[in-house]
C-alpha cells in the first residue's frame, strides 16, 4: 500500500532485470511477515515453487497450512535428507556426477576440518570412491540402490592409502556415530511445492554441514524446477546467521549471480546490515539486488544504507522508528548497476537540427489523455564536434524555440557513459559519474510504503482463500 497515494502496489519481481530481493530491517520491523505475505501471493497467484531456509523455525505453521513439507534438520529429528541423493538423467548438460563429486569433496572438507583443509591425495581418493559408490547407478544397473554416506565411508576404508583412513575416521561420526542424521535415505517429500528447511538448535559443526546440505538441496531443486519449466522462490531468513560460515557465504554470492539464470527468485532477510556489507563479496549482493524492502532501521545501519543507496533525508524518515511493516520499497526495473557503464570522457556537442517526435502525453489528464495518448514534441539534436559520432538530444518547448537554439549554435558539454553490453551509450552532465547517475535514478524509483493496516486485511483474505480451497477439496 502506497503511503502517499493509498494505492495498492502490485509489482512482479520476475519482470526485473534481476529478481534478487532483500528485506532489511531491525528486529521486529516486519521482515518475516512481509516475506510470508509475498510467498502466500506466489502460492495463490502462480504455479511457482517455494523453498524457505528458516533458522528459527517460524515458518512451519504457515508451510503446513499450505500443504507444504517442513523438514527439521536436527540430531533427534525424524526427517532425513540423504546428501548422497542424485538424479542421473540421460541428457543433462552439466554432469550430475561431477557436481555431486564436487559437493561431497567440500562436505568431506568440512568434516575433516583443520585450517589446511584436504590434501591433494585425500581429494583424489575421495573422488575415486565417489565414482565407485555411484558406479551401479551411473551404469543404470537394475536394482542399483541410492548410496548413503556409510557406503562412501566403507569404500574409503577399502582404499590402500593412509590418507583415505584419515578421511574415513573423520566421517565415522556422521555415519555410525552420534551425528548420523545425514546417513539415512530421504524420507521427506522434496518435490512438494512448498519446502521449508528448519535449521534450529544446531551446534556449530553440525550447522555448517547442515547448511552445506541445504545449499545443495536448494541448488538441485532450482535446477529440477527449471527443467520442468517452473520458477523457484527461495527465502533465506536470518541471513546474517547463514553468512557466518565462509563456505555458505560464498554459496550465496553464487546464488545471486548464477541461480537467477535458472529461474530462481531469491530473497534474503536480515537485521544486520553491517555484517552484510562487511565483506566486499557480499556487498556485491546488494548491488545485484533490484527488489529491496527497507523497514525500520537501527541508526548506524540507516547511515550505511543511505550512503549506499543514495536515499534522501526525507525518505530516511520512513525507515526511522517506523511501525512494523512500514518502510521503503525499491523496485529498480530499469536501472543498470553503475559498473555496467564505461566512462568515455566529456565531449562538446553543438545543435544542428530540430525534428518533431511523438511522445507520451503525460501532461493531460482524464479524458483528454485517453483521446490523445501521444502528443508532438520538438527535439533539438546535438552532435559531437570532434567527429566521434556521439549524439545528444533535448526537448524544446516549441518548434520556434528549438530553431532559435539551432541558429544560436551554442555548444554544450556532456559526459558520455557507454554500456558495452548493449553497445549503447547515454550522456550525463559533465560533473556526474556513473555512480552518481545511477544513485539519482534509484532515488527516483523509491516508493514510500505503509503496509500495516491493509496488509493485515490482505493477509486475512489470503487465509480465507486457502481455507476455502481446502474445504472445496475435502
Rg (CA), the chain: 28
Q: How far is the CB of 296 from ligand ATP (least distance, A)?
A: 9
* Site residues, ligand ATP (CB under 6 A): 25, 27-33, 271, 324-325, 451-452, 455-456
Q: How many residues bind Mg ion (CB under 5 A)?
A: 1
User: Is residue 282 a contact partner of residue 270, using CB atoms and an 8 Å limit?
Assistant: no
Return the half-sphere exposure (C-beta side, CA atoms, 13 A cut-off) of residue 289: 25
Q: Is 213 exposed, middle or buried (0-12, 13-18, 19+ CB in 10 A)?
A: buried
Q: CB nearest ligand ATP: which residue?
A: 325
Interacting partner of 451 out of Mg ion, ligand ATP, none (Cβ under 5 to 8 A depending on kind) = ligand ATP
User: Is residue 306 a contact partner of residue 267, using CB atoms and an 8 Å limit?
Assistant: no
Q: How far is the CB of 23 from ligand ATP (least distance, A)?
A: 8
CB nearer ligand ATP, residue 62 or residue 222 = 62
Interacting partner of 456 out of ligand ATP, Mg ion, none (Cβ under 5 to 8 A depending on kind) = ligand ATP
Helix, strand and coil percent figures for the chain, each rounded to 5: 45, 20, 35
Q: How far is the CB of 337 from ligand ATP (least distance, A)?
A: 27
- The dihedral through the CA atoms of 165, 167, 169, 175 has a sign that is negative
Q: How far is the CB of 54 from ligand ATP (least distance, A)?
A: 10
User: Is residue 461 a contact partner of residue 39, using CB atoms and an 8 Å limit?
Assistant: no
Interacting partner of 205 out of Mg ion, ligand ATP, none (Cβ under 5 to 8 A depending on kind) = none
Q: How far is the CB of 35 from Mg ion (least distance, A)?
A: 8
CB nearer ligand ATP, residue 26 or residue 82 = 26
Q: How far is the CB of 269 from ligand ATP (least distance, A)?
A: 7
Q: How far is the CB of 208 from ligand ATP (least distance, A)?
A: 22
Interacting partner of 291 out of ligand ATP, Mg ion, none (Cβ under 5 to 8 A depending on kind) = none
Cell (9 digits) for 387: 567527429
CB nearer ligand ATP, residue 298 or residue 316 = 298
CB nearer Mg ion, residue 32 or residue 232 = 32
Cell (9 digits) for 33: 511477515
How far lies 116's CA from each of 110, 120, 172, 213, 298, in Å? 11, 11, 20, 22, 39
Binding mask 24-43 vs Mg ion (x if CB under 5 A, - otherwise)? --------x-----------
Q: How far is the CB of 32 from Mg ion (least distance, A)?
A: 3
Binding mask 250-269 vs Mg ion (x if CB under 5 A, - otherwise)? --------------------
Query: Which residues does residue 264 pair with via DSSP β-bridges, in sequence order?
Result: 232
Q: Chain centroid to CA 383: how far?
A: 41
Q: What distance in Å separates the CA atoms of residue 366 and residue 368, rounded to the nearest whole number?
A: 6
Q: Does 69 bind Mg ion (CB under 5 A)?
A: no
CB nearer Mg ion, residue 25 or residue 147 = 25
Written as one string, the DSSP assignment of 69-88 is: EEEE-STT-S----TT----
Q: How far is the CB of 236 from ligand ATP (least distance, A)?
A: 12
Interacting partner of 383 out of ligand ATP, Mg ion, none (Cβ under 5 to 8 A depending on kind) = none
- The dihedral through the CA atoms of 420, 425, 431, 433 has a sign that is negative
- Of 80, 58, 81, 60, give the one whose Cα is nearest residue 70: 60
Q: How far is the CB of 33 from ligand ATP (least distance, A)?
A: 3
Q: How far is the CB of 1 from ligand ATP (least distance, A)?
A: 9
CB nearer ligand ATP, residue 338 or residue 462 = 462
Q: CB nearest Mg ion: which residue?
A: 32
CB nearer Mg ion, residue 28 or residue 203 = 28
Cα dihedral 128→134→136→139 (10° resolution): -90
194-198: strand order across its sheet: 69-72, 194-198, 49-54, 232-236, 264-270, 21-24, 291-295, 326-331, 447-450
Interacting partner of 365 out of Mg ion, ligand ATP, none (Cβ under 5 to 8 A depending on kind) = none
CB nearer ligand ATP, residue 153 or residue 455 = 455
CB nearer ligand ATP, residue 30 or residue 351 = 30
What ranges in 70-196 are assigned the alpha helix state H?
96-112, 120-133, 135-139, 149-158, 162-175
Written as one string, the DSSP assignment of 196-264 is: EEE--S--HHHHHHHHHHHHHHHHHHHHHHHHTT--EEEEESSHHHHTTSHHHHHHHHHHHHTGGGGTE
CB nearer ligand ATP, residue 63 or residue 84 = 63
CB nearer ligand ATP, residue 324 or residue 447 = 324
Interacting partner of 239 out of Mg ion, ligand ATP, none (Cβ under 5 to 8 A depending on kind) = none
Interacting partner of 25 out of Mg ion, ligand ATP, none (Cβ under 5 to 8 A depending on kind) = ligand ATP
User: Is residue 396 a contact partner of residue 379, using CB atoms and an 8 Å limit?
Assistant: yes
- Of 265, 288, 285, 266, give the one whose Cα is nearest residue 275: 285
Q: Which residues bind Mg ion (CB under 5 A)?
A: 32
Amino acid at each position: 500500500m502506497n503511503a502517499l497515494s493509498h494505492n495498492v502496489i502490485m509489482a512482479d519481481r520476475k519482470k526485473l532485470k534481476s529478481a534478487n530481493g532483500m528485506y532489511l530491517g531491525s528486529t521486529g520491523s516486519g521482515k518475516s511477515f512481509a516475506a510470508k505475505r509475498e510467498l502466500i501471493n506466489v502460492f495463490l497467484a502462480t504455479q511457482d515453487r517455494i523453498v524457505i531456509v528458516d533458522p528459527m523455525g517460524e515458518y512451519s505453521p504457515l508451510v503446513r497450512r499450505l500443504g507444504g513439507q517442513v523438514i527439521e534438520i536436527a540430531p533427534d529429528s525424524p526427517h532425513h535428507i540423504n546428501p548422497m541423493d542424485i538424479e542421473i538423467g540421460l541428457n543433462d548438460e552439466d554432469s550430475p556426477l561431477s557436481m555431486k563429486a564436487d559437493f561431497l569433496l567440500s562436505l568431506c572438507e568440512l568434516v575433516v576440518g583443520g585450517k589446511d583443509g584436504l590434501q591433494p591425495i585425500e581429494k583424489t581418493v575421495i573422488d575415486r570412491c565417489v565414482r565407485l559408490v555411484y558406479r551401479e547407478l551411473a551404469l543404470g544397473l537394475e536394482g542399483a540402490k541410492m548410496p548413503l554416506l556409510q557406503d562412501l565411508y566403507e569404500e574409503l576404508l577399502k582404499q590402500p592409502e593412509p590418507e583415505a583412513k584419515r578421511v574415513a575416521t573423520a566421517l565415522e561420526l556422521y555415519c555410525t556415530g552420534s551425528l548420523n542424521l545425514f546417513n539415512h535415505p530421504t524420507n521427506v517429500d522434496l518435490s512438494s511445492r512448498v519446502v521449508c528447511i528448519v535449521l534450529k538448535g544446531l551446534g556449530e559443526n553440525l550447522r555448517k554441514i547442515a547448511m552445506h546440505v541445504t545449499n545443495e538441496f536448494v541448488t538441485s531443486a532450482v535446477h529440477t524446477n527449471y527443467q520442468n519449466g517452473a520458477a523457484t522462490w527461495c527465502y533465506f531468513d536470518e541471513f546474517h546467521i547463514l553468512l557466518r560460515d565462509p563456505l555458505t557465504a560464498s554459496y550465496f554470492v553464487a546464488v545471486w549471480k548464477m541461480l537467477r539464470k535458472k529461474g530462481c527468485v531469491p530473497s534474503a532477510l536480515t537485521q544486520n546490515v553491517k555484517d552484510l556489507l562487511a565483506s566486499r563479496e557480499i556487498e556485491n549482493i546488494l548491488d545485484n539486488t533490484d527488489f529491496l524492502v527497507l523497514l525500520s532501521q537501527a541508526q548506524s545501519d540507516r547511515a550505511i544504507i543511505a550512503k549506499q543507496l543514495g536515499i534522501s533525508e526525507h525518505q530516511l524518515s520512513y525507515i526511522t522508528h517506523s511501525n512494523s511493516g512500514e518502510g521503503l520499497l525499491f523496485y529498480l526495473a530499469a536501472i543498470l548497476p553503475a559498473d555496467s557503464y564505461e566512462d568515455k570522457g566529456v565531449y562538446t556537442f553543438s545543435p544542428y537540427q530540430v525534428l518533431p517526435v511523438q511522445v507520451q502525453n503525460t501532461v493531460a489528464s482524464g479524458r483528454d489523455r485517453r483521446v490523445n495518448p501521444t502528443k508532438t514534441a520538438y527535439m533539438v539534436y546535438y552532435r559531437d564536434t570532434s567527429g566521434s559520432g556521439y549524439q545528444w538530444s533535448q526537448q524544446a518547448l516549441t518548434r520556434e524555440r528549438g530553431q532559435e537554439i539551432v541558429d544560436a549554435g551554442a555548444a554544450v558539454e556532456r559526459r558520455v557513459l557507454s554500456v558495452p553490453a548493449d553497445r549503447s551509450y547515454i550522456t550525463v552532465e559533465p560533473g556526474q559519474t556513473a555512480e552518481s547517475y545511477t544513485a539519482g535514478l534509484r532515488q527516483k524509483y523509491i516508493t514510500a510504503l505503509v503496509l500495516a493496516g491493509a496488509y493485515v486485511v490482505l493477509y486475512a483474505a489470503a487465509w480465507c482463500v486457502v481455507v476455502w480451497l481446502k474445504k472445496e477439496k475435502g
